[in-house]
């Protein structure tokens, strides 16, 4: 009679998941399962070409981060502050609008060997610029929060479509079956809610798993029986019955997949809490992220968990900064001073994440992307207006690691940061580039649905070759 | 050769023929025409065609499936028609031809070939093109007539569009394998492939299968006993009839249709507004299936139910028979099918309606016709014979429809929900309420007038504008709204005292932007119904600050409902003119001077709907002649505005206002004695307090009546003004092209809505969709039903019968079923019966004992996907079946139809994209009744691959993930259910063995084998031993709970054999 979990797991030994757990329980953190069976939609699969990035960390700052106050340095905007210009769009309407230029409240300076300009809002991230590829001529299709956010996540500002993480999971599967392939760490949902990590018409296993920072990161992870030994007994009997059902139904492989998934789930009970448990992190590491010991929320927590998930083979990790409540996010209509508080919340954690990944030799195989739904207007109705409005004609994002050049600024906006001048990168282009780094060709990563082959990039998208290593 | 290959072959062949034909034509032309023609042909072939082929057609030809910018350059028709920017070649006029500008990289056009291609035409090539155009642009290339993405001829021949053929079931070699006609088709094909089917499933297995399939729940022990004891030849029929007649069946198959109909309980806009009435459509679907409504009628009512309801009404429903009223309500509710999709707008306007319509057109196409019509929104369909004309023909029908608005960020209240009562009753109820409200308004107003006469601090005639109470030196506040450089000043006091008495201040409104100014919203809406209304104001245009020159610009006085929502009166003032808006035009009616005060009095007359009055001053009078009030004014005046949108030269003028009043009684005429305010007395104060109380009570009474639900409504549609839509180039509503008459798909007959009928065309559409001469609706439905029973349709792409869809595995069977279905009067229940009573449906999923292993091996090799149906494919329970079955076996399921969802009260709705609606409502009802949001998925349903309500779902795609297993291991639901089941077992039976028998019957629909029984007993012994050693409560209950859990999460439970 076997009465502890190790016996159950080793004894069951059917399929590689079981073996992986033997490894897991003997203390090996990296419990990688190799391809198990073609019927498993999450089994790791090769992409279209050799990837530069094994995983993607996608950081999303909600609300619309002003480009001219952060990454896009416009000296002329300071000089011509208060001057009248004619804007071609205002509050989502085309036309001719007399507006006044407004200078940023923060100064810019050059950093790193590359001399990349960064505003005083990001003193810590400024030390990372030699690893960053800043995109200063981003454009997107909508200046509405919900539509812009959907476009950034699904490629469509209009219709429900699968999210980028779901596409990557669908294209590549995942190496660690003990954790979801696509994890979204978000204290509050962004605009458009769960559609941002939905799988839509892709199989449901590719949807993002929403982790709300706190004590119970994943649902149903805690056993509800008296102890693990009891649960092991249950699972042993279940496996006995299931194995018989599998023998009696050799033609229906789903049954075996289901049997195996219980083993995996049992493994998740152990490994997932461990992935979210920061007790083994050193004080130095916690400091790097600006975290207090015992803290289980905040952006530093999200960033450090992201590193731990990356280490454990999660394919796509998204970190959502703030959420759809405009009083708390980057939607600074009323007062741009709010940007300072918001920048402070993410500056050190993201810098910590980049440094930590780099120190562990993971950055070059991890693509980190930071973006937002759109920028903010460099102008307003009066010269002394304290806020800025939505601006999707041009804005800033950045990428780092994972096959992207560091210390580079790609794309320029015009002299005031109103429209792209050169090197325009559309949301579709950013997606195409992300997929490319992960080893996927955005034109070939398709799914047949309702008579059409759908893509993350719809019928557009260009890999921004200029920024690739 | 598969059908797809065939069609590719055919199209290649036709293409070759086309080329031949054009050559032939060329040769013939040569025979008839002159040498000139030969020269043209020669020039084209040697100089022009190579340029087009090499540099243009990659992005502009049907062969490459690309028409960048909407332009085709592979035929004369292509460039004749032109692209999104219009014609590109003007014969004889190279300078006016866009093509030349593009290849020359001229201004205002995209350079061609595109710069990033790195290619550019040589100068001589460009000159050749110019010469060619100058000579008339001879082009022998003719396009085959096309329909959407298909050659028109080929489209007509596409199998899915053929009329339904009458088919006789084939003869077979093994008649013993045949139970009903379906089996003949299946067996004939198996025989042809020399594949033997497996044996039928056991009685118990079939019962569990058919019960789960038809009702979404496992059979109860009682049902099993009855069926097992029934050894009559009709035992199967009996059980099937009983299942089909059950409400559980309607709930199960209703849910199937709700997948296709993209049902959810919220709107899916950014703020995800709740739709309180959505459930009515859901319940209608279930009821309709329960009544076995003929499917064609079921479809038609969802498209045009409201119109049939009107017919019913016209046929004399007016006498109010209850049945007829219920039918009326049902018919209107049915149109929820159209309304229930994802919404994109924030207010009931047309900004995002093209996206709402895209969803509706796409959903109708997929669900009823199995065609992806939505693909023709931005361009003709790439593969199927559906053009933009087709798309916008349907679009016009939707645009001529009135849509319920669910609420949204900008307009937070639902609007335009169709009533579930006939118009006459609705009118009666509304009139009743209106008259109640009118009476109350009159009482309130009377009390206010009375109060104003007693209150010395009351300054503004009938309705208090309270300027006198404002603080000097500040912009007017409270009751008033002010934007821009405005100030209350003592200098702005009007000298006229005949209405308001002596005052101390007025407001000076500075010259800001036109949007700026002051606004006053009256506490009571004044309605111009039977009594006249009176308006008065004093104004002055001051000289500019230094007094040296007269100021420029104008200002506007507005009276109406809301902020310019419904306008009654507009006047405009400049330094020297007074103008009024008459029939949309400014008309100057008086000359003014700066620095002088004027007094305006107007009377609004409800009799002839005009207003008139005069402008008075010291030694000044100008008549305001009778002017018609705007016809679109809704007779409500509740807002006064003075802003900068006046007549005359641009700019806004500084002005001073005082003594504003609106009343139902006439004001004192100009020149009357000064008005003297009553003085404050204790008796007066008391009377005021009592009046205040009276007013408050009346107002709350009014609010109650005004917000009372007068009659039930549905989330559906009605008729609007009929219009034809214009094509939206690239799907962008700002890029309008030609108008398309409302109508139906050309490939299915191309019928047109009668433009003189004054109806949206939904009635016609409902008819076209289900007309028995057009075969798609029936074909698509019988295939869908097959899919619901077997997990895979005969056409596996159940919502796509177009070119990219899959070929039918058994085309004759599909024809046979569709034909039989229509003959039966679209009787769904009969079709269910036919399918589940077939031997094909009865086959085992696999049986290692009773089959010839060699034969199964061969079948597997030949047909691993079981397209031939030589066995039954096992399927996992879907999300709803799993939850419903678990709840039902443990006795926790509430089988009643629940009431509406407990959404927050509508008056409290303030959802925005920043703060969207989110609700989670616990329920023990069947899963079809769970509240489902569009933007925040129901966690359980989404974990087990429930339908995404944001699009029409034709197939659940089950996945097997560890997070599902975690749910089965650790969720409160499974634990609660297992404990509840264990309690029932322990209480109802004494000995272990009979409890085990019962447990197996309840969960798996069979009895345990000896071995299983032993395994369970062994497990319980060890488990209870361990449990007792740690002594945590009731050992027996815990042990039995654990065993129940194992069985209700085992493969034999989760999968339908």
Tell whether A251 is within 8 A of chain B (Cβ).
yes
Say if residues B156 and B747 touch (Cβ distance below 8 Å).
yes
In a domain, A3, yes or no: yes
Cα–Cα distance for residue pair A240/A12, rounded to 1 Å: 9
**pLDDT attached to residue B507:** 92
Cα–Cα distance for residue pair A277/A299, rounded to 1 Å: 16
Among A322-326, B408-412, B817-821, the range with the most confident prediction by mean pLDDT is B817-821
Cα–Cα distance for residue pair B165/B655, rounded to 1 Å: 81
Q: Which of A76-85, B657-666, B921-930 has the lowest mean pLDDT?
A: B657-666
Residues A190 and A292 in one domain: yes
Q: Smallest CA–CA separation between B1028 and chain A, in Å?
A: 11
Report the 10 Å Cβ neighbour count for B26.
Answer: 17
Nearest to A324 among B874, B916, B1047 (CB): B916
- Asked whether the bond before B587 is cis by omega within 30 degrees of 0, the reply is no
pLDDT digits 0-9 by tens, B781-797: 999 999 999 999 999 99
Residues A202 and A299 in one domain: yes
Per-residue pLDDT averaged across B617-639, rounded?
A: 90
Residues A149 and A250 in one domain: no
Size of interface A-B (CB pairs under 8 A): 225
Range of the domain at A373: 45-218+278-467
Cα–Cα distance for residue pair A298/A292, rounded to 1 Å: 10
In a domain, A40, yes or no: no
Q: Which two tokens stand for residue B2?
A: 């598969």
Nearest to B970 among A224, A255, A451 (CB): A224
Identify all chain B residues contacting A241, using CB atoms and an 8 Å cutoff: 1012, 1015, 1046-1047, 1050-1052
Residues A12 and A115 in one domain: no
CA nearest to B735, candidates B346, B354, B348: B354
Nearest-by-CA chain A residue for B866: A251
Pick the CATH number of B480-672 from 2.60.120.200, 3.40.190.10, 2.40.30.60, 3.30.470.20: 2.60.120.200
Q: Which of A175-189, B66-80, B475-489 has the lowest mean pLDDT?
A: B66-80
Rounded to two decimals, the pTM is: 0.76
Q: Smallest CA–CA separation between A396 and chain B, in Å?
A: 22
For A399-428, give the DSSP string. EESTTB-SSEEE-EE-TTSSSEEE--EEHH
Interface contact A204-B969, CB threshold 8 A: no
Q: Is the pLDDT of residue A20 over 80?
A: no
Nearest to A261 among B951, B965, B1055 (CB): B965
Q: Is the pLDDT of residue A156 over 50?
A: yes
Report the 10 Å Cβ neighbour count for B112.
Answer: 26
Cα–Cα distance for residue pair A451/A453, rounded to 1 Å: 7
Q: Is the pLDDT of residue B1029 over 80?
A: no
pLDDT digits 0-9 by tens, B797-812: 999 999 888 899 999 9
pLDDT digits 0-9 by tens, A167-212: 999 999 999 888 889 999 998 888 888 889 988 888 878 989 888 8
In a domain, A37, yes or no: no
How many angstroms separate the first and last alpha carbons of chain B? Answer: 34
CA nearest to B698, candidates B449, B448, B434, B521: B448
Interface contact A226-B860, CB threshold 8 A: no
pLDDT digits 0-9 by tens, A90-100: 887 788 889 99
pLDDT digits 0-9 by tens, B739-778: 999 999 999 988 999 888 889 999 999 999 999 888 899 9
**pLDDT attached to residue A36:** 33
Contact map slice: B 656-715 vs A, CB within 8 A: none
CA nearest to B94, candidates B51, B128, B55: B128
Say if residues B536 and B598 touch (Cβ distance below 8 Å).
no
**pLDDT attached to residue B5:** 39
Interface contact A177-B962, CB threshold 8 A: yes
Interface contact A146-B950, CB threshold 8 A: no
Tell whether B272 is within 8 A of chain A (Cβ).
yes
Cα–Cα distance for residue pair B458/B678, rounded to 1 Å: 10
Tell whether B803 is within 8 A of chain A (Cβ).
yes
In a domain, A205, yes or no: yes
Torsion of CA B969, B974, B975, B979, to 10 degrees: -130
Nearest to A204 among B845, B945, B1016 (CB): B945
Say if residues B133 and B91 touch (Cβ distance below 8 Å).
yes
Cα–Cα distance for residue pair A191/A56, rounded to 1 Å: 21
Report the 10 Å Cβ neighbour count for B95.
Answer: 10
Phi/psi region, residue B659 (left: phi>0; alpha: psi -120 to 50; beta: rest), is left
Cα–Cα distance for residue pair B99/B82, rounded to 1 Å: 10
Residues A393 and A285 in one domain: yes
Contact map slice: B 498-527 vs A, CB within 8 A: none
Side-chain half-sphere exposure of B7, counting CA atoms within 13 A: 20
Among A252-256, B129-133, B1023-1027, the range with the most confident prediction by mean pLDDT is B129-133
Per-residue pLDDT averaged across B853-874, rounded?
A: 84
Which CA distances in Å does B88 have to B83, B93, B104?
A: 7, 11, 13
pLDDT digits 0-9 by tens, B385-434: 999 999 999 999 999 999 999 999 888 889 999 999 999 899 999 999 99
Identify all chain B residues contacting A226, using CB atoms and an 8 Å cutoff: 1027, 1030, 1032, 1038
B230 vs B562, higher pLDDT: B230
**Residue B547 banded pLDDT, cuts 50, 70, 90:** low
Q: Smallest CA–CA separation between A234 and chain B, in Å?
A: 6
B666 vs A65, higher pLDDT: A65
CA angle B69, B73, B75 (to 5 degrees): 135
Interface contact B804-A218, CB threshold 8 A: no
For B400-427, give the DSSP string. TEEE-B---SSS-S-B-PPBSS-HHHHH
Residues A27 and A69 in one domain: no
Interface contact B1052-A241, CB threshold 8 A: yes
**Residue A260 banded pLDDT, cuts 50, 70, 90:** confident
In a domain, A39, yes or no: no
Q: What percent of chain B has pLDDT over 90?
A: 55
**pLDDT attached to residue B34:** 59
Total count of domains within chain A: 2
CA angle B66, B67, B68 (to 5 degrees): 100
> Which of the listed residues A253, A275, A297 is the one where a domain comes to its end?
A275
Nearest to B1050 among A191, A241, A267 (CB): A241
Interface contact B958-A254, CB threshold 8 A: yes
CA nearest to B997, candidates B1012, B983, B979: B1012
Tell whether B1019 is within 8 A of chain A (Cβ).
yes
Contact map slice: A 365-424 vs B, CB within 8 A: none
Which CA distances in Å does B549 have to B489, B543, B546?
A: 22, 7, 8
Residues A373 and A300 in one domain: yes
Q: Smallest CA–CA separation between B1042 and chain A, in Å?
A: 7
Interface contact A450-B937, CB threshold 8 A: no
Question: Three-state DSSP class for A382?
Answer: coil
Tell whether B1032 is within 8 A of chain A (Cβ).
yes
Contact map slice: B 370-429 vs A, CB within 8 A: 372, 375, 382-384
Interface contact A252-B845, CB threshold 8 A: yes
Nearest to B372 among A245, A259, A452 (CB): A452
Report ipTM (2 d.p.): 0.75
Nearest to A245 among B800, B1016, B1051 (CB): B1051
**pLDDT attached to residue B9:** 38
CA angle B904, B907, B909 (to 5 degrees): 60
Q: Is the pLDDT of residue B566 over 60?
A: yes
Q: Is the pLDDT of residue B849 over 70?
A: no
Per-residue pLDDT averaged across B210-229, rounded?
A: 96
User: Three-class SS string for B147-183?
Assistant: ECCEEHHHHHHCHHHCCCCCCCCCCCCCHHHCCCHHH
Tell whether A42 is within 8 A of chain B (Cβ).
yes
**Residue A244 banded pLDDT, cuts 50, 70, 90:** very high
Interface contact B971-A146, CB threshold 8 A: no
**pLDDT attached to residue B756:** 84
Residues A259 and A166 in one domain: no
Cα–Cα distance for residue pair B80/B757, rounded to 1 Å: 35
- Name every residue whose Cβ is closer than 8 Å to that of residue B317 and which is 6 or more positions away in sequence: B324, B325, B328, B422
Cα–Cα distance for residue pair A351/A111, rounded to 1 Å: 14
Residues A71 and A200 in one domain: yes
CA nearest to A401, candidates A291, A336, A310, A340: A310
Interface contact A451-B802, CB threshold 8 A: yes
Interface contact A229-B1026, CB threshold 8 A: yes
Nearest-by-CA chain B residue for A251: B846
For A132-167, give the DSSP string. EEEEEEEE-S--SHHHHHHHHHHS-SSS----HHHH
Q: Is the pLDDT of residue B301 over 90?
A: yes
For B765-780, give the DSSP string. HHHHHH-TTS-HHHHH
Residues A19 and A58 in one domain: no
Residues A432 and A320 in one domain: yes
Per-residue pLDDT averaged across A374-387, rounded?
A: 93
What is the separation of C-alpha B529 from the centre of its chain, rounded to a whole number of angstroms?
38
A42 vs A104, higher pLDDT: A104
Tell whether B911 is within 8 A of chain A (Cβ).
no
Nearest to A258 among B860, B942, B1051 (CB): B1051
Nearest to B366 among A195, A252, A450 (CB): A450
Q: Is the pLDDT of residue B712 over 90?
A: yes
In a domain, A373, yes or no: yes
Nearest to B963 among A209, A231, A238 (CB): A209
Question: Three-state DSSP class for B392?
Answer: helix
Identify all chain A residues contacting B860, using CB atoms and an 8 Å cutoff: 251
**pLDDT attached to residue B457:** 57
**pLDDT, chain A, mean:** 88
Say if residues B172 and B191 touch (Cβ distance below 8 Å).
yes
Interface contact A205-B805, CB threshold 8 A: no
Nearest to B963 among A180, A237, A240 (CB): A180
Element (H, E) at B728: strand B725-728
| Greatest CA separation for chain B | 117
β-bridge mates for residue B66, sequence order: B61
Q: Is the pLDDT of residue A86 over 90?
A: yes
Tell whether B1015 is within 8 A of chain A (Cβ).
yes
- Name every residue whose Cβ is closer than 8 Å to that of residue B61 and which is 6 or more positions away in sequence: B67, B72, B73, B74, B78
Identify all chain B residues contacting A178, using CB atoms and an 8 Å cutoff: 962
pLDDT digits 0-9 by tens, B951-985: 899 999 888 888 899 999 999 999 999 999 999 99
In a domain, A54, yes or no: yes
Contact map slice: B 924-953 vs A, CB within 8 A: 935-937, 939, 942-945, 948, 950-951
**Residue B853 banded pLDDT, cuts 50, 70, 90:** low
How many angstroms separate the first and last alpha carbons of chain A? Answer: 57
**pLDDT, chain B, mean:** 88
Mutate to test the interface with B, among A237, A322, A373 (most CBs of B within 10 A): A237
For B564-600, give the DSSP string. TTEEEEEEEE-SSEEEEEETTEEEEEEE--TT-EEEE
**Residue A39 banded pLDDT, cuts 50, 70, 90:** low
Nearest to B846 among A207, A225, A251 (CB): A251
Identify all chain A residues contacting B803, using CB atoms and an 8 Å cutoff: 451
Q: Is the pLDDT of residue B613 over 90?
A: yes
Cα–Cα distance for residue pair A137/A396, rounded to 1 Å: 6
Say if residues B275 and B266 touch (Cβ distance below 8 Å).
yes
Question: Three-state DSSP class for A370?
Answer: strand
Cα–Cα distance for residue pair B917/B934, rounded to 1 Å: 10
**Paired sense of beta strands A395-400 and A366-372, if any:** antiparallel
Per-residue pLDDT averaged across B61-76, rounded?
A: 79
Cα–Cα distance for residue pair B21/B142, rounded to 1 Å: 9
**Residue A24 banded pLDDT, cuts 50, 70, 90:** very low
Per-residue pLDDT averaged across A103-108, rounded?
A: 97
Residues A313 and A353 in one domain: yes
Q: Is the pLDDT of residue A2 over 50?
A: no
**pLDDT attached to residue A21:** 30
CA nearest to B259, candidates B766, B964, B822, B941: B941
B362 vs B59, higher pLDDT: B362
Which CA distances in Å does A221 have to A51, A217, A272?
A: 33, 9, 8
């Amino acid at each position: 009679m076997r009465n502890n979990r190790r016996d159950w797991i080793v004894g069951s030994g059917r399929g590689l998941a079981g073996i992986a757990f033997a490894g897991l329980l003997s203390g090996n953190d990296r419990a990688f399962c190799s391809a198990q069976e073609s019927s498993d939609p999450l089994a790791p699969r090769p992409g279209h070409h050799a990837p530069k990035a094994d995983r993607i960390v996608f950081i999303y700052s909600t609300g619309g981060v002003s480009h001219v106050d952060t990454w896009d340095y416009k000296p002329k905007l300071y000089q011509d502050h208060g001057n009248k210009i004619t804007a071609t769009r205002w509050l989502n309407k085309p036309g001719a609008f007399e507006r006044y230029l407004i200078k940023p409240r923060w100064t810019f300076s050059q950093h790193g060997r590359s001399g990349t300009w960064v505003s005083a809002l990001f003193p810590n991230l400024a030390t990372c610029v030699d690893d960053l590829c800043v995109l200063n001529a981003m454009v997107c299709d909508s200046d509405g929060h919900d539509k812009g956010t959907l476009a950034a996540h699904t490629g469509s500002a209009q219709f429900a479509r699968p999210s980028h993480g779901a596409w990557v999971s669908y294209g590549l599967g995942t190496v660690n079956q003990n954790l979801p392939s696509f994890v979204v760490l978000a204290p509050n949902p962004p605009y458009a809610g769960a559609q941002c990590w939905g799988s839509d018409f892709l199989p449901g296993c590719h949807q993002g798993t929403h982790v709300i920072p706190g004590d119970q990161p994943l649902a149903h992870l805690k056993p509800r029986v008296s102890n693990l030994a009891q649960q092991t007994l249950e699972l042993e009997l279940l496996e006995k019955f299931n194995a018989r059902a599998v023998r009696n139904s050799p033609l229906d492989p789903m049954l075996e997949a289901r049997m195996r998934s219980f083993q995996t789930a049992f493994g998740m009970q152990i490994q997932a809490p461990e992935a979210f448990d920061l007790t083994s992190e050193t004080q130095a590491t916690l400091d790097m992220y600006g975290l207090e010991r015992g803290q289980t929320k905040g952006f530093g927590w999200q960033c450090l968990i992201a590193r731990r998930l990356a280490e454990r083979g999660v394919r796509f990790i998204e970190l959502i900064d703030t959420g759809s409540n405009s009083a708390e996010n980057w939607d600074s209509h009323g007062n741009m001073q709010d940007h300072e508080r918001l920048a402070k919340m993410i500056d050190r954690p993201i810098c910590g994440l980049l440094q930590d990944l780099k120190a562990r030799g993971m950055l070059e195989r991890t693509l980190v992307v930071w973006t937002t739904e759109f920028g903010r207007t460099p102008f307003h109705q009066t010269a002394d207006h304290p806020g800025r409005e939505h601006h999707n004609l041009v804005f800033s994002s950045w990428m780092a690691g994972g096959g992207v050049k560091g210390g580079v600024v790609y794309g320029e906006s015009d002299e005031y940061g109103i429209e792209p001048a050169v090197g325009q990168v559309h949301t579709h282009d950013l997606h195409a580039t992300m997929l490319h780094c992960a080893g996927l060709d955005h034109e070939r990563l398709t799914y047949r649905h309702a008579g059409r082959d759908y893509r993350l990039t719809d019928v557009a998208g260009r890999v921004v070759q200029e920024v690739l290593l | 050769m598969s059908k797809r290959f065939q069609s590719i072959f055919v199209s290649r062949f036709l293409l070759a023929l086309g080329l031949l034909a054009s050559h032939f034509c060329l040769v013939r032309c040569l025979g008839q025409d002159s040498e000139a023609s030969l020269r043209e042909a020669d020039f084209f072939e040697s100089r022009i065609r190579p340029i087009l082929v090499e540099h243009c057609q990659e992005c502009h030809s049907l062969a490459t499936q690309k028409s960048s910018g909407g332009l085709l350059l592979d035929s004369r028709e292509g460039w004749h028609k032109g692209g999104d920017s219009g014609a590109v070649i003007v014969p004889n006029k190279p300078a006016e031809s866009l093509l030349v500008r593009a290849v020359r990289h001229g201004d205002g056009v995209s350079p061609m070939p595109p710069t990033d291609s790195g290619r550019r035409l040589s100068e001589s090539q460009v000159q050749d093109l110019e010469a060619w155009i100058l000579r008339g642009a001879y082009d022998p290339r003719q396009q085959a007539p096309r329909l959407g993405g298909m050659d028109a001829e080929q489209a007509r021949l596409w199998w899915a569009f053929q009329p339904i053929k009458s088919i006789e079931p084939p003869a077979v070699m093994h008649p013993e394998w045949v139970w009903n006609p379906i089996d003949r088709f299946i067996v004939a094909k198996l025989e042809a492939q020399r594949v033997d089917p497996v044996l039928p499933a056991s009685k118990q297995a079939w019962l569990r299968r058919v019960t789960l399939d038809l009702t979404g729940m496992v059979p109860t022990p009682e049902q099993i006993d009855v069926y097992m004891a029934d050894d009559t030849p009709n035992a199967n029929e009996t059980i099937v009839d009983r299942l089909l007649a059950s409400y559980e069946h309607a709930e199960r198959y209703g849910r199937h249709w709700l997948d296709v109909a993209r049902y959810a309980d919220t709107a899916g806009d950014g703020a995800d507004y709740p739709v309180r009435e959505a459930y009515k459509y859901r319940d209608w679907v279930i009821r309709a299936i329960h009544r076995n409504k003929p499917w064609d009628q079921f479809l038609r009512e969802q498209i045009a139910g409201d119109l049939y309801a009107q017919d019913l009404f016209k046929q004399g429903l007016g006498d109010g028979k209850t049945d007829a009223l219920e039918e009326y309500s049902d018919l209107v509710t049915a149109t929820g099918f159209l309304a229930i999709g994802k919404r994109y707008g924030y207010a009931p306007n047309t900004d995002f309606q093209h996206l709402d319509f895209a969803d509706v057109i796409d959903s109708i196409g997929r669900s009823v016709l199995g065609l992806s019509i939505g693909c023709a929104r931005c361009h003709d369909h790439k593969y199927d014979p559906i053009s933009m004309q087709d798309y916008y023909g349907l679009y016009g029908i939707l645009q001529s429809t009135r849509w319920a608005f669910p609420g949204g960020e900008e307009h937070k209240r639902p609007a335009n929900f169709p009533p579930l009562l006939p118009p006459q009753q609705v009118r009666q109820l509304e009139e009743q309420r209106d008259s109640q409200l009118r009476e109350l308004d009159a009482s309130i107003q009377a009390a206010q007038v009375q109060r104003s006469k007693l209150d010395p601090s009351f300054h503004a005639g009938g309705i208090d504008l309270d300027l006198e109470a404002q603080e000097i030196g500040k912009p007017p506040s409270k009751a008033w709204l002010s934007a821009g450089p405005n100030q209350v000043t003592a200098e702005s006091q009007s000298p006229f005292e005949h209405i308001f008495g002596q005052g101390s201040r007025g407001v000076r409104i500075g010259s800001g932007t036109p949007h700026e100014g002051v606004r006053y919203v009256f506490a009571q809406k004044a309605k111009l119904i039977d009594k006249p209304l009176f308006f008065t104001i004093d104004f002055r245009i001051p000289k500019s600050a230094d007094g040296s020159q007269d100021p420029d610009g104008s200002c506007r006085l507005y009276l109406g409902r809301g902020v310019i929502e419904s306008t009654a009166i507009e006047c405009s003032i400049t330094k020297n003119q007074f103008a009024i808006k008459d029939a949309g035009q400014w008309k100057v009616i008086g000359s003014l001077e700066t620095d002088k005060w004027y007094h305006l009095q107007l009377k609004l007359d409800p009799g002839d709907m005009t207003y008139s009055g005069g402008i008075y001053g010291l030694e000044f009078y100008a008549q305001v002649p009778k002017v018609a009030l705007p016809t679109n004014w809704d007779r409500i005046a509740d807002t006064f505005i003075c802003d900068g949108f006046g007549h005359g030269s641009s700019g806004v003028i500084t002005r001073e206002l005082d003594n504003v009043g609106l009343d139902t009684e006439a004001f004192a005429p100009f020149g009357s004695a000064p008005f003297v305010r009553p003085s404050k007395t204790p008796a007066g104060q008391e009377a005021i307090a009592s009046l205040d109380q009276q007013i408050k009570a009346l107002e709350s009474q009014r609010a109650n009546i005004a917000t009372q639900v007068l009659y039930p409504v549905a989330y559906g549609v009605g008729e609007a003004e009929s219009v034809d839509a214009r094509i939206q180039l690239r799907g962008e509503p700002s890029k309008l092209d030609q108008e398309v008459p409302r109508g139906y798909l050309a490939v299915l007959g191309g019928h047109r809505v009668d433009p003189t009928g004054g109806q949206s065309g939904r009635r016609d559409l409902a008819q076209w969709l289900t007309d028995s001469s057009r075969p798609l609706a029936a074909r698509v439905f019988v295939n869908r039903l097959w899919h619901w029973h077997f997990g895979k349709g005969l056409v596996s792409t159940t919502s796509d019968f177009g070119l990219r869809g899959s070929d039918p595995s058994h085309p004759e069977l599909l024809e046979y079923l569709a034909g039989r279905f229509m003959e039966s009067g679209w009787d769904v229940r009969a079709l269910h019966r036919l399918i589940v009573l077939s031997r094909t449906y009865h086959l085992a999923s696999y049986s290692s004992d009773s089959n010839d292993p060699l034969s199964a091996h061969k079948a597997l090799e030949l047909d691993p996907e079981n397209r031939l149906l030589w066995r039954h494919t096992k399927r996992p329970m879907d999300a709803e079946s799993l939850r419903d079955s678990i709840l039902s076996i443990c006795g926790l399921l509430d089988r009643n139809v629940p009431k509406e969802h407990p959404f927050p009260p509508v008056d409290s709705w303030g959802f925005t994209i920043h703060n969207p609606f989110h609700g989670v409502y616990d329920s023990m009802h069947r899963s079809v009744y769970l509240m489902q949001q569009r933007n925040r998925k129901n966690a359980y349903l989404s974990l087990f691959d429930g339908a995404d309500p944001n699009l029409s779902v034709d197939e659940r795609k089950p996945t097997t993930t560890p997070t599902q297993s975690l749910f089965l291991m650790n969720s409160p639901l499974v634990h609660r259910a297992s404990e509840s089941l264990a309690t029932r077992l322990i209480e109802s039976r004494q000995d272990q063995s009979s409890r085990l028998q019962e447990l197996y019957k309840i969960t798996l629909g069979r009895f345990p084998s000896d071995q299983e029984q032993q395994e369970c007993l062994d497990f319980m012994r060890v488990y209870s031993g361990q449990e007792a050693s740690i002594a945590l409560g009731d050992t027996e209950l815990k042990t039995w709970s654990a065993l129940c859990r194992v069985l209700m999460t085992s493969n034999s439970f989760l999968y339908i054999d």
